[in-house]
Amino acid sequence: MAKSPKITRIETFHHGEYPNLAFVKIHTDDGLFGVGETPGSPAPVHAFIHADAAEYLLGKDASQLDLHWSNLAKMAGGMRSRGAEMRALSAIDIALWDLFGKRVGEPVYNLLGGLSRNKIKVYNTCVGYPFYMDRTEGPKPGSPDYVPKGPYDDAYASLIDPVGLAESLHADGFRAMKIWPFSQFAAKTNGQFISLEDLEAGTEPFRLIHEAMGDQMEVAVEMTQSWNLPSAIKIAQAVTPFKPLWFEDAVQMDNLDALAQFRTSTNIPTIASEGVSTRWSFREMFVKQATDICMFDLGWVGGISEAKRVATMAESFGIPIAPHDCVGPIAFMAGVHLSLNATNTYIQETVRSYRATWYNDIVTALPKVEDGFASVSDAPGLGLDFTEKFLKSDLLTVQVSEL
């Protein structure tokens, strides 16, 4: 009978430089710990972990991942919740997998069933350095007053110099990239209507890149759930001549029938959605044949456990997965472990501007990205920890619940 490691201590970290991330560290009585992370507003996540989840988890056997998932999911909102509770559960689940791997001395990908490949093709999401973290007002990329923040200010470049950006990515080994030039126009009408003028302006980067690079660069169209169905179809039709990689989050995920209608309107693949949580929601999406490719974020979908379950279910529908990145380093690492394991991985997302900068300030190791492919080491668990710099920062607030 295997030893049952008891959960003794749960820490959460809030760091002033990363106001949109919640971090968790779970300790067991065998001296090990695991780390997890989730994006979005951290205040309610931390509140749920310390006021509610900790009371349940402390003293429990850390190896009962499925049972803890199921019980925590029932605590609020139900199994399809996409709110603070599901984000907290996702972070906890990632930490429990990290712990599991460290306990048995194996990388997480082996615990999921081993490598289906040694490296996975990646595409670059063209955000700039501050896109996600910066919640201040002020000029955004695209406005005349905006000043680029460094060589990888890729969201800015996607609007100002799309061909230069594509060439720079190509030189870094990428053959696929993602941009969202239409989203800048959505606020005018709250996504209810796109004018022909804006349609043409938004299509321009796709035309320019396709004409300059041809089959050397595939460009994904991110529509950020910003548009109603007729506007989304208009956008898809406009970009189709330039052979995009896919159309992402074409409509809001509240209405999967509308997404299914979008999908049948185009012969370019539809992908959805990082904004969807849990197997129950994805099951509805798959049954309705609303997507060609399944995207999820491990920090939101319900952790590594739920991502693996969704990936397997997707496979039974003939649907490949493409794990999301663009939120934080631990969810990215967990995503690559799953990408390497799952038999049905299409491609993995990565963000070069984040990997080059703040991801490294938070954790000690990241997936290796080389020649347009990502791989991970065989270190136990997720193979990373918080950096000394992160843990010793004056901007760090730690909250603890313990036995």
Partner 1 sequence: MRITKVETVRTSNIPRWVWVRIHTDSGLIGLGESTAVSAPTEAHIRAELAPYLIGKDPMQVAELHEGMQSRSRIGPNGSAEWRAISAVDIALWDIVGQATNAPVHQALGGRVRDSIPIYNTCADWRYAVRQGSTAFGLSSPTDHETPAGKYDDLQGFLNDAGSVAESLLSEGVKAMKIWPFDQFVQKTNGQHISAEDVNKGMEPFRKIRERVGNQIEIMAELHGMWNIPSTVKIVNALEEVEPYWVEDVTSADNVEGLRQVQERTHLTVLGNETLATAEAYRPMLSSGAIRILMFDTTFVGGFTEARKVMSLAEAHKVPATPHDCNGPVNLFAGIHMCMHAPNAFIQETTRAFIHEVYGRVVDRLPRIENGIVFAPEDPGIGTALREDFLADPATVITTVQG
Choice between 63 and 281, CB closer to partner 1: 281
H or E stretch at 177: strand 176-179
Interaction between residue 48 and partner 1 (CB under 8 A) = yes
Number of residues that bind partner 1 (CB under 8 A): 38
Give dist(CA 242, CA 224) in Å, integer. 20
Q: Which residues contact 88 (CB under 8 A, 6 or more apart)?
A: 22, 24, 38, 45, 48, 49, 53, 72
User: Which residues 330-359 are close enough to bind partner 1 by CB under 8 A?
Assistant: none
Choice between 153 and 222, CB closer to partner 1: 222
* Binding range to partner 1, per CB under 8 A, among 67-75, 175-183, 313-321, 327-335: 67-75
Choice between 84 and 268, CB closer to partner 1: 84
What is the nearest approach in angstroms of partner 1 to the Cβ of residue 258?
A: 10
Give dist(CA 388, CA 328) in Å, integer. 17
Cα 216 to Cα 68, 177, 242, distances in angstroms:
46, 11, 13
241 half-sphere exposure, CB direction, 13 A CA radius: 9
Cα 114 to Cα 36, 57, 204, 340, 378, distances in angstroms:
21, 28, 43, 8, 11
* Binding range to partner 1, per CB under 8 A, among 235-243, 277-285, 336-344, 356-364: 277-285
Residue with tokens 């938070």: 362
What is the nearest approach in angstroms of partner 1 to the Cβ of residue 374?
A: 26
* Binding range to partner 1, per CB under 8 A, among 36-44, 120-128, 171-179, 198-206: 36-44
Residue 377 Ramachandran class (φ > 0 left, ψ -120 to 50 alpha, else beta) = beta
User: Which residues 253-272 are close enough to bind partner 1 by CB under 8 A?
Assistant: 253-255
Interaction between residue 401 and partner 1 (CB under 8 A) = no
- Dihedral angle of Cα 129, 192, 255, 73, to the nearest 10 degrees: 40
What is the nearest approach in angstroms of partner 1 to the Cβ of residue 75?
A: 5
User: Which residues 168-207 are close enough to bind partner 1 by CB under 8 A?
Assistant: 190
Q: What value does the CA radius of gyration of the chain take, rounded to a whole number of Å?
A: 21
Q: Which of 75, 163, 201, 391 binds partner 1 (CB under 8 A)?
A: 75
What is the nearest approach in angstroms of partner 1 to the Cβ of residue 13?
A: 16
Interaction between residue 52 and partner 1 (CB under 8 A) = yes
Q: Which of 6, 9, 60, 80 binds partner 1 (CB under 8 A)?
A: 80
What is the nearest approach in angstroms of partner 1 to the Cβ of residue 287?
A: 8
* Binding range to partner 1, per CB under 8 A, among 161-169, 278-286, 326-334, 389-397: 278-286
Interaction between residue 284 and partner 1 (CB under 8 A) = yes
Give dist(CA 300, CA 114) in Å, integer. 23
Q: Which of 252, 305, 339, 353 binds partner 1 (CB under 8 A)?
A: 252
Between strands 368-370 and 373-375, the pairing is antiparallel
Give dist(CA 62, CA 272) in Å, integer. 32
Interaction between residue 305 and partner 1 (CB under 8 A) = no
Under the rule (CB under 8 A), what is the footprint of partner 1? Answer: 40-41, 43-48, 50-52, 70-71, 74-86, 88, 190, 252-255, 275-276, 278, 280-281, 284
